Amino acid sequence: MLKLQKSKIIQLLISVLSVLFCSTSFAKHTILVFGDSLSNSYGIEKKAGWVTLLKNRIKSRNIVAGVINKSISGETSAGGLRRIETILEAIKPTIVILELGANDGLRGLSLDSMYSNLEKIVKLSQSYGAKCLIIGMRIPPNYGAQYTKQFHEIFIKLSSKTDSNIVPFMLEGFELNEDFFLSDLIHPNEKAQKIILETIWEELETLLSF
């Protein structure tokens, strides 16, 4: 009888501990998405954006990770630099998906300043213990061959200099297909979001394994 009672007590304790453990957040990773309108579901429903699709994938695959989106439409590298440290301090992410620079390019801003801002964001993120995934972009050729070439090369250089992972081009595979864009021909529509997710996931999955 005593053995039976002890067995029941042990089972009860295990059950209680299991409930407590499951109800507490022990995320292995906290992913910060830090970008502009391309990561802020511009012109489409939030649930259709690639960041929400990422959250759904992580959940469906039982990956222990949280995703926090701090992207702002219209954000530049300078604006991102002004915001990043407060966010890092509050969130303490283990992975930062950095998707900034497109608005710098579209506004014809200084590429040297853009590189400097992005580099500081990456180094600040790393100082808080986060690994960075840099999302590269391209701008239309009407900005001039030299400027557009140098713009894209910034992301490659940034990845190399900071030892960060990189997705060379966020819109890879559909950038010239108008069917995947809103009427402004700048922002990807809902149909494009799944492609963006797959492009980013290929590199992000590597970081999630650490």
Is 152 catalytic? The answer is no
DSSP classification of residue 106: H
Query: What Cα–Cα distance (Å) separates residue 19 from each residue in 8, 15, 23, 25, 62?
Result: 17, 6, 6, 12, 18
Count other C-beta atoms under 10 Å from residue 160's C-beta. Answer: 10
Is 29 catalytic? The answer is no
Which residues partner with 47 through β-bridges? none
Question: Which distant-in-sequence residues (6+ apart) come within 8 Å of 73 by Cβ?
Answer: 36, 37, 40, 42
Closest to 170 (Cα-Cα) out of 183, 182, 152, 158: 152
How many Å apart are CA 27 and CA 20, to the nearest integer?
Answer: 15
Among residues 73, 113, 116, 187, the one annotated as catalytic is 187
Among residues 23, 25, 60, 184, the one annotated as catalytic is 184
Among residues 37, 77, 159, 164, the one annotated as catalytic is 37
Residue 162: helix, strand or coil by DSSP?
helix
Is 113 catalytic? The answer is no
Q: Which residues are catalytic?
A: 37, 184, 187
